[in-house]
Amino acid sequence: MTIPVRQTNDRQTSALKLPLLGFAAYSGTGKTTLLEALLPKLTAAGLRVGVLKHAHHHFDVDKPGKDSYRLRKAGASQMLIASRNRHALMTETPDAEAEFDYLLTRFDHQQLDLILVEGCKNIAFPKIELRRAAVGKPWLYPNDSNIIAVAADEKIESELPQLNINDLQAISQFVLDYAHEFHAASKPASSQPASCDTLSPAFLSVTEGVEKILSAVHPISDTEMLAVEASYGRVLSDAIESPINVPAYRNSAMDGYAIRSEDVGLEQFEVMCEVLAGHGYPQPLQAGQAVKIMTGAPVPAGADTVIMREQAKQDGQFVAFADAVIKAGQNVRQAGEDLAQGQSVFLPGQRIQSAEMGMIASLGMTTVPVYRRLKVALFSTGDEVQAPGTETNGHSIYDSNRYTLMGLLQQLNCEVIDFGIIEDDEILMMDTLVQAAQSADIIMTSGGVSVGDADFIKSALEKLGRIDFWRINMRPGRPLAFGEVDNTPFFGLPGNPVAVMVSFINFVEPAVRKMQGEHDWQPLKVQALASEDLRSRQGRTEFSRGIYHVNHQGQLVVQTTGKQGSGILRSMSEANCLIEIGPAIDTVKVGESVTIIPLQGRI
Ligand code: AMP
Ligand code: MG
Quote the CA–CA distance of 254 and 197 in Å, as a whole number.
68
Tens digits of per-residue pLDDT, 268-322?
Answer: 999 999 998 889 999 999 999 999 999 999 999 999 999 999 999 999 999 999 9
The ligand minimizing its distance to the Cα of 492 is 1
Mean of the per-residue pLDDT values of the chain: 90
Least confident of 243-252, 444-453, 460-469: 444-453
Please determine, for residue 563, whether its predicted confidence score (pLDDT) is greater than 90: no
Q: How many CB atoms lie within 10 A of CB 301?
A: 13
β-pairing, 162-164 with 147-152? Answer: parallel
Please give the radius of gyration of the chain, using alpha carbons only, rounded to the nearest integer. 33
428 CA to centre of ligand 1 in angstroms: 19
Q: Residue 382 in 3-state DSSP?
A: coil
Please determine, for residue 195, whether its predicted confidence score (pLDDT) is greater than 90: no
pLDDT of 101 reads 85
Quote the CA–CA distance of 21 and 10 in Å, as a whole number.
18
Q: Is residue 394 very low, low, confident or very high in pLDDT (cuts 50, 70, 90)?
A: confident
pLDDT of 56 reads 79
Q: Is residue 183 very low, low, confident or very high in pLDDT (cuts 50, 70, 90)?
A: confident
Tens digits of per-residue pLDDT, 590-600?
Answer: 999 999 999 99
Atom of ligand 1 nearest to the CA of 499: 8
Q: Is residue 192 very low, low, confident or very high in pLDDT (cuts 50, 70, 90)?
A: very low
Atom of ligand 1 nearest to the CA of 448: 3
Please determine, for residue 576, whether its predicted confidence score (pLDDT) is greater than 80: yes
Q: Which of 4-18, 99-113, 463-477, 499-513 has the largest mean confidence?
A: 499-513
Closest CA to 160 of 180, 135, 140, 176: 140
Closest CA to 537 of 572, 494, 588: 588
β-pairing, 488-493 with 526-530? Answer: unpaired
Best residue among 496, 502, 570 to mutate for probing ligand 1, ranked by most atoms within 8 Å of CB: 496
Residue nearest to atom 14 of ligand 1 (CA): 495
Please determine, for residue 489, whether its predicted confidence score (pLDDT) is greater than 90: yes
Best residue among 395, 446, 469, 480 to mutate for probing ligand 1, ranked by most atoms within 8 Å of CB: 446
447 CA to centre of ligand 1 in angstroms: 5
Quote the CA–CA distance of 292 and 259 in Å, as a whole number.
9
* Burial class of residue 583 in the structure, from the number of CB atoms within 10 Å of its CB (0-12 exposed, 13-18 middle, 19+ buried): buried
Atom of ligand 1 nearest to the CA of 450: 2
Tens digits of per-residue pLDDT, 72-109?
Answer: 999 999 999 988 788 999 998 887 888 888 899 899 88
